[in-house]
């Protein structure tokens, strides 16, 4: 028995060693062949050139015109448009014949504060009031309201569709296995790629923005809600059944109350996803703060982008805190432990009346209807940021440029040269072999299909540029993740300091990360990489830290008692045992990085993201942008599957 195990061990070691040698071999061969063949068959396509496929996509618009599909989407679009107009006239845009919205800033602020008080308690009510005040003080009241309107309309639709689906999924295994792959796919896609195809169906404008936001934000509430329903203890369900509870009673009296907290967590995630998508949807003319950021980024107005971005950050923090607190409080409220129910009713009625007074004032006094221009925090803040940015570029130029050049010359250029300047067949072969070595046959098959799709889009070289950028960013992310992950996992004080920062960072819509990166590095490839690294690092760090923390303390203790040094404990026990966690971090980090690299097209990242952006702005490039979207999907699936299969194989060892 022992000899057998030892034998198996040896075989495994041989396999492991062989795998790294194989990888190295593939790389060396790739570099050697590249040296000979570089520049040939790179399938480069000039900016204005179109392939037949792309032209066909360009004409898709005409072909769809007059079909039943557009009739259906037209109805949806009109309904949403009506709803949005109504809501916007209520809180953000002038409601004819009034020169101001139906409810002015004081009214909205009062109602929002009251709602936060009702669901999340008075501390969060204060936070909400302060946040709404901040929107106005920063000079973006109307834009903030527009963003909230788009976000909450989308959230409402998400809940309307999502909660019944979550219940259905939670109660049926068959529905679960039917829906899960769809949800997986929607969550793998970068937010960006939904935009162009949807404009085909819904045009551009607020309704399309809502639809795209719904699609993006639907998955969390379904997935988490279903998980909540499914997690209800089987003993309780059996006990309920044994007492003659019918299906509807089980749902109403057992499953929904017991899953309430988890469902609200799902709502929180959906709200945050909706906010981040509603910002990006500015690219298809969603009104609100996102638009301000896009315009400012486009004109490299760092200060303006920063102030608008700050308003988004404030909104994100507020929404996250309030919904998280609501989930935590839901239990207490149901138990009526904090406040006596009758007292609560009185308090809510009293504060509600106060809020209505606010609404009344805001309807009849201009000062409370339109947010006053003074005091204005936004303009000085924007100027200060502009000054700082100019100062940094003037005085620290060598430093920022040095960093940018070092990464560019050391990592980006060589990698991009290897991946994008090799003939397509060489890169394909190399990627296939790497995929096979890392993830096995199934991974290799997916890779082959995805590469085929990319070739078909006619955007091979742009895709390879994007791939190279992504790989550079993920390398940086993983370096950060390992360093900080280890620090957090091994030091609880560091954990308590760093983790809240990471949590907050994860809440931000990806868009806002472009702003500081732009301020430091202007519009270059490197800016997108910096933004991607900042965006992806928090999730990767947390996953690595959790992986290391989950290593059994007994094993660590055993290693320490055997006289291992700190480094030996890390390298021989903690890191190897946290392999799955690290793999997961790489997988998630990669998807985050990728989605950001694509958005980076806005600030000079080039590649596929840039093509998508051009697709919005130039009609004749619409098809090309659409093709770029398809290539992005293919790349995302390829990277996701490759890392997932590699992780599964690593876990099996």
Partner 1 sequence: MSTTAEHEASPRLSDGESVPDAALSVRGLWKVFGPKGDEIVGSPEADLPRPELLARTGCTVAVKDVSFDVAPSEVFVVMGLSGSGKSTLVRCLTRLIEPSAGDVLLDGEDVRKMSESRLRELRRTHVSMVFQHFGLLPHRQVIDNVAYGLEIRGVSKKERHAKAQEMVDLVGLTGNEHSYPDQLSGGMQQRVGLARALAVDPTVMLFDEPFSALDPLIRRGMQNEVIRLHEEVGKTMVFITHDLQEALKLGDRILIMRDGAVVQIGSPAEVVARPADDYVRDFVSDVHRSAVLTLRYVMREPLPDDSSEGPIMSPDTIVRQAARVALASAHPLRVVYDDILIGIVDNDALLRVVVAEES
Contacts to partner 1 by CB under 8 A: 233, 235-236, 238-246, 249, 253-254, 257-258, 260, 331, 334-335
Closest CB 233 distance from partner 1, rounded Å: 7
Q: Based on CB atoms, which residue is closest to partner 1, 123 or 253?
A: 253
Closest CB 264 distance from partner 1, rounded Å: 14
**CA-based nearest residue to 358, from 104, 185, 152:** 104
Q: DSSP 3-state assignment of 127?
A: helix
Closest CB 254 distance from partner 1, rounded Å: 6
How many residues in the chain?
A: 653
End-to-end CA distance of the chain: 19
DSSP string, 349-374: HHHHHHHHHHHHHHHH-HHHHSPPS-
Helix, strand, coil fractions of the chain, as percent rounded to 5: 85, 0, 15
Closest CB 330 distance from partner 1, rounded Å: 10
Angle CA 352–354–357, to nearest 5: 115
| Residues 6+ positions from 78 with CB-CB distance below 8 Å | 207
The C-alpha atoms of residue 556 and residue 566 are separated, in whole angstroms, by 10
Q: Based on CB atoms, which residue is closest to partner 1, 98 or 247?
A: 247
Q: DSSP 3-state assignment of 565?
A: coil
Which pair of structure tokens corresponds to residue 219?
A: 């998955």
The C-alpha atoms of residue 620 and residue 614 are separated, in whole angstroms, by 9
Q: Based on CB atoms, which residue is closest to partner 1, 17 or 239?
A: 239
Which pair of structure tokens corresponds to residue 460?
A: 């091979």
> Which 8-state DSSP code applies to residue 597?
H
Backbone angles phi, psi at 606, to 5 degrees: 70, -165
Q: Based on CB atoms, which residue is closest to partner 1, 181 or 244?
A: 244
What stretches of 559-649 adopt beta strand conformation (E)?
Answer: none
Closest CB 323 distance from partner 1, rounded Å: 20
Closest CB 343 distance from partner 1, rounded Å: 17
Q: Based on CB atoms, which residue is closest to partner 1, 260 or 579?
A: 260
Closest CB 237 distance from partner 1, rounded Å: 8
> Which 8-state DSSP code applies to residue 605?
-
Q: Based on CB atoms, which residue is closest to partner 1, 78 or 331?
A: 331
Closest CB 269 distance from partner 1, rounded Å: 22
Q: Based on CB atoms, which residue is closest to partner 1, 260 or 442?
A: 260
Closest CB 234 distance from partner 1, rounded Å: 9
Q: Based on CB atoms, which residue is closest to partner 1, 177 or 336?
A: 336
Which pair of structure tokens corresponds to residue 448?
A: 């082959």
Which pair of structure tokens corresponds to residue 269?
A: 């995630």
The C-alpha atoms of residue 480 and residue 483 are separated, in whole angstroms, by 5
Q: How many helices (H) and strands (E) does the chain have?
A: 31, 0
Whose tokens are 């809440």? That residue is: 507
Chain centroid, CA 598 distance in Å? 12
Q: Based on CB atoms, which residue is closest to partner 1, 167 or 195?
A: 167
The C-alpha atoms of residue 402 and residue 529 are separated, in whole angstroms, by 15
Closest CB 346 distance from partner 1, rounded Å: 21
Closest CB 239 distance from partner 1, rounded Å: 3
Q: Based on CB atoms, which residue is closest to partner 1, 249 or 617?
A: 249
Q: Is 98 left (phi over 0), alpha (psi -120 to 50) or beta?
A: beta
Closest CB 246 distance from partner 1, rounded Å: 6
Chain centroid, CA 159 distance in Å? 19
Q: Based on CB atoms, which residue is closest to partner 1, 110 or 330?
A: 330
**CA-based nearest residue to 635, from 469, 365, 409, 454:** 454
Q: Based on CB atoms, which residue is closest to partner 1, 40 or 332?
A: 332
Chain centroid, CA 83 distance in Å? 27
In sign, the C-alpha dihedral spanning 156, 609, 417, 57 is positive
The C-alpha atoms of residue 473 and residue 593 are separated, in whole angstroms, by 7
């Amino acid at each position: 028995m022992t000899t057998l195990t030892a034998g198996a061990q040896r075989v495994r070691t041989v396999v492991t060693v062989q795998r790294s040698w194989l990888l190295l071999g593939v790389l060396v061969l790739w570099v050697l062949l590249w040296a000979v063949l570089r520049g040939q068959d790179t399938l480069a396509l000039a900016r204005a050139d179109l392939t037949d496929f792309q032209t066909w996509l360009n004409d898709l618009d005409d072909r769809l015109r007059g079909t039943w599909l557009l009739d259906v989407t037209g109805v949806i679009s009109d309904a949403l448009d009506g709803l949005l107009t109504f809501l916007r006239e209520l809180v953000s845009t002038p409601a004819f014949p009034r020169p101001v919205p139906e409810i002015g800033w004081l009214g909205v602020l009062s109602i929002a504060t009251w709602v936060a008080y009702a669901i999340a308690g008075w501390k969060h009510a204060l936070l909400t009031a302060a946040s709404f005040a901040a929107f106005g003080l920063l000079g973006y009241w109307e834009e903030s309201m527009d963003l909230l309107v788009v976000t909450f309309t989308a959230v409402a639709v998400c809940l309307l569709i999502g909660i019944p689906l979550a219940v259905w999924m939670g109660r049926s295994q068959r529905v679960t296995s039917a829906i899960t792959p769809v949800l997986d796919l929607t969550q793998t896609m970068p937010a960006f790629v939904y935009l162009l195809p949807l404009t085909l169906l819904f045009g551009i404008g607020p309704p399309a923005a809502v639809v795209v936001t719904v699609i993006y934000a639907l998955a969390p509430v379904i997935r988490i809600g279903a998980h909540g329903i499914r997690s209800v203890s089987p003993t309780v369900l059996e006990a309920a059944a044994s007492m003659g509870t019918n299906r509807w009673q089980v749902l109403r009296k057992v499953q929904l109350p017991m899953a309430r907290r988890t469902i609200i967590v799902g709502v929180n995630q959906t709200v945050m996803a909706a906010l981040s998508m509603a910002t990006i949807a500015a690219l298809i003319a969603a009104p609100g703060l996102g638009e301000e950021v896009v315009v400012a980024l486009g004109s490299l107005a760092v200060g303006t982008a920063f102030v608008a971005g700050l308003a988004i950050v404030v909104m994100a923090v507020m929404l996250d805190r309030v919904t998280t607190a609501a989930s935590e409080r839901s239990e207490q409220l149901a138990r009526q432990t904090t406040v006596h129910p009758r007292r609560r009713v009185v308090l809510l009625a009293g504060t509600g009346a106060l809020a209505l007074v606010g609404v009344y004032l805001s309807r009849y006094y201009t000062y409370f209807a339109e947010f006053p221009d003074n005091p204005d925090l936004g303009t000085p803040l924007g100027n200060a940021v502009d000054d700082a940015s100019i100062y940094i570029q003037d005085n620290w130029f060598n430093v920022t440029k040095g960093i940018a050049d070092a990464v560019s010359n050391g990592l980006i250029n060589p990698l991009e040269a290897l991946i994008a300047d090799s003939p397509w067949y060489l890169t394909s072969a190399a990627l296939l072999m790497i995929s096979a070595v890392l993830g096995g046959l199934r991974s290799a098959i997916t890779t082959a299909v995805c590469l085929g799709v990319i070739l078909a889009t006619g955007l091979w070289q742009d895709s390879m540029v994007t791939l190279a950028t992504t790989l550079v960013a993920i390398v940086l992310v993983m370096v950060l993740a390992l360093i900080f992950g280890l620090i957090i996992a091994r030091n609880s004080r560091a954990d308590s300091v760093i983790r809240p920062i990471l949590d907050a960072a994860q809440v931000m819509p990806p868009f806002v990360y472009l702003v500081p990166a732009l301020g430091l590095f202007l519009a270059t490839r490197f800016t997108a990489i910096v933004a991607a690294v900042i965006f992806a690092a928090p999730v990767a760090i947390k996953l690595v830290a959790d992986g290391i923390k989950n290593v059994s303390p007994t094993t660590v203790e055993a290693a320490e008692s055997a006289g291992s040094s700190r480094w030996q404990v890390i390298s021989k026990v903690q890191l190897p045992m946290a392999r799955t966690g690290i793999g997961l971090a790489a997988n998630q980090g990669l998807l985050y990085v990728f989605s950001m690299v694509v958005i980076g097209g806005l600030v000079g990242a080039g590649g596929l993201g840039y093509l998508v952006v051009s697709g919005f702005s130039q009609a004749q490039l619409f098809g090309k942008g659409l093709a770029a979207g398809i290539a992005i999907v293919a790349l995302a699936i390829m990277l996701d599957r490759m890392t997932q299969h590699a992780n599964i194989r690593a876990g099996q060892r």
